[in-house]
Structure 1
Amino acid sequence: MSRLTVYRDDAPGKLLLDLSTPGEIAETLRPHNIRFERWAAPVTPAKDASTDDILDAYRPYLNALMGETGAGSADVVRINAQTPNLPELRQKFLSEHTHSEDEVRFFVHGQGAFVLHIKGRVYSVLCEQGDLISVPTGIPHWFDAGTSPDVVALRVFTDKTGWIADYTGDDIAERFPAEVVPTTAAQI
């Protein structure tokens, strides 16, 4: 289930807000220019579907999104137990960083948490199948799909070089670990 939890950045145990309705999540993130949507595609491709089949299934949504944002391309990323250098890759995602381009992800399968550090607050957004999130340029954040990820996601971009992480050096991600629920066979 999608979820948004909010904490003060100086109080990891002090929960300020806990939401699980996509509309409420979107409304809470909107003032920070973070886009959160639930897409209801008529068909969800199989987890092992080809990249082309996945892109074709979401083409109407992607065309509309890219037309609005000026993004020029989309691709498919898979993160699972077979991902090369998974522990090192995960560690890179877990450090607070920013990008020079919006980070746009749509979860085709699986889940992951984007944790955002904004104006003295930490917003942990657990995204699941059907969720789109767009983190604007310059917002400090980190990401976690858990220790045993099984994610298929669309990435939307204008220029892939904008994805190069600019690490902040803040250890806040260690104090606020992402809240990822282990995926069970029943959820797959």
Structure 2
Amino acid sequence: MRAYYFDDLPGDQRLPHDSGKSVDAATLSAIGVLHWHIPVDDESGKHIEGIDAVARERDCKNRDVIVVTKESLGDEYETKIKNFYKEHMHEDEEIRYILEGGGYFDVREHASEAWIRCHMRAGDLLVLPAGIYHRFTLDEGNKSRTMRLFKDEPKWIAHNRGPETDVNPYRIDYVKSVAVA
């Protein structure tokens, strides 16, 4: 995974938007974002051991695989891509492992309000804490096959940023956790 500050220039969201300013693992950790690279090995399935270890550590009991392509989503493709790219948060950790293709997770750096763009490709696993503002888009490859890990039943409920989410208890807890760091 490669992380850097988003350039905030207009243009297709699937372009790199690379400001040239890299972001290190310590900066990501300070905002609660964790990542690992576990090479995908479809033949032996050895990568599953690494995913299982993260799942145990994060107390995840369920997982599924989502394919985001024009072919897989059909008429809903444009709507879904736009929905994923709206700034939002979740009340659960968001854990994603890229099996094939790639995309960008943009996360808000709380102190500066800057976007940090995390370019993920096959083998990258990312953990976003509950309450962090973020968004997702495909990269120029226009394809992502992603395993999603869940603590309980698979669900994806986005709370778009606004006055209501700023006072959401999960958001408040997140802000407190990064203020201490």
Question: Which TM-score tier does this pair reach, normalised by the shorter chain?
Answer: 0.7 to 0.9
Q: After the TM superposition, list the runs of 4 or more consecutive aligned residues in structure 1 that deviate by more than 6 angstroms.
A: none
| Corresponding residue of 2:31 | 32
| Corresponding residue of 1:18 | 22
1:44 aligns with 2:42: yes
1:100–1:163: 8 Å Cα contact kept in structure 2? no
Q: Output the amino acid matched with 2:147.
A: L
| Corresponding residue of 1:180 | none
What pairs with 1:38-187 in structure 2 (closer than 5 Å)?
38-41=37-40, 43-44=41-42, 57-84=46-73, 85-119=76-110, 120=112, 121-146=114-139, 149-160=142-153, 163-169=156-162
Separation in structure 2 between the aligned mates of residue 16 and residue 148 of structure 1, nearest angstrom: 21
For the residue of structure 2 that corresponds to 1:82, the secondary structure is: helix
TM score, norm. by length of structure 1:
0.70
Q: Output the amino acid matched with 1:35.
A: L
| Offset, 1:3 | 2.1
Flag structure 1 segments of 5+ consecutive residues without an equivalent: 46-52, 171-188
Distance 1:72 1:62, change over 3 A: same
| Offset, 1:33 | 1.6
Flag structure 2 segments of 5+ consecutive residues without an equivalent: 10-17, 164-181
1:111–1:145: 8 Å Cα contact kept in structure 2? yes
Distance 1:140 1:160, change over 3 A: farther
Q: Output the amino acid matched with 1:5.
A: Y
For the residue of structure 2 that corresponds to 1:33, the secondary structure is: coil
For the residue of structure 1 that corresponds to 2:132, the secondary structure is: coil
2:107–2:135: 8 Å Cα contact kept in structure 1? yes
TM score, norm. by length of structure 2:
0.73
Separation in structure 1 between the aligned mates of residue 154 and residue 121 of structure 2, nearest angstrom: 26
- Percent identity over paired residues: 21
| Offset, 1:133 | 0.6
RMSD: 2.6
